[in-house]
Amino acid sequence: MAEPITTALLVGLAAQKFAESAAGKAAEKLIERLWDAIAARFKGQQKMEENLAAIAAAKGNNPEAIEKVKTVLEAEFVEDEGFENELKDLAQQIITIQNQTQSQSSNTFISRDQSQMRAVGQVYGTANLGDQK
């Protein structure tokens, strides 16, 4: 069963627009659409524009501004269920693409002595195989 799409998740996904290489090309376009939909909805509302600008300036890493945007979005969803559904649909598409990308990521490493290691997902740091001399 899929994880429920919360307002916090929506804002977090939208903020990924500013993180370096946060998603593949297909997900990046959807993330941009999600961000643009939120920004367009609050165009002309000075406080929200300031919070969105603060998120952008911090490359998506401004917890205080993110929390404020989340609070305003929750109130907006009470007034406009169609807007909520639109954003949640975009978020679900992003999550689906990101999950597909993660499940398809694998690497095979071959050392000089022909031993092999298969890594699925992300490998951080250095992977050493075979004898270390």
| 24 vs 47, residue with greater confidence | 47
Write out pLDDT tens, residues 43-79: 999 999 999 999 999 988 899 999 999 999 999 999 9
Mean pLDDT score of the chain, rounded to an integer? 78
Instruction: Give me Rg for the CA atoms of the chain.
Output: 19
Global confidence as pTM: 0.67
Q: Which residue has the tokens 């690497």?
A: 107
Task: Give the bridge partners for 48, in sequence order.
Answer: none
Q: With a cut of 70, say whether residue 86 has pLDDT above it.
A: yes
Residue 38: pLDDT band with limits 50, 70, 90: very high
The burial of 83, by beta-carbon neighbours within 10 Å (0-12 exposed, 13-18 middle, 19 or more buried), is given as middle
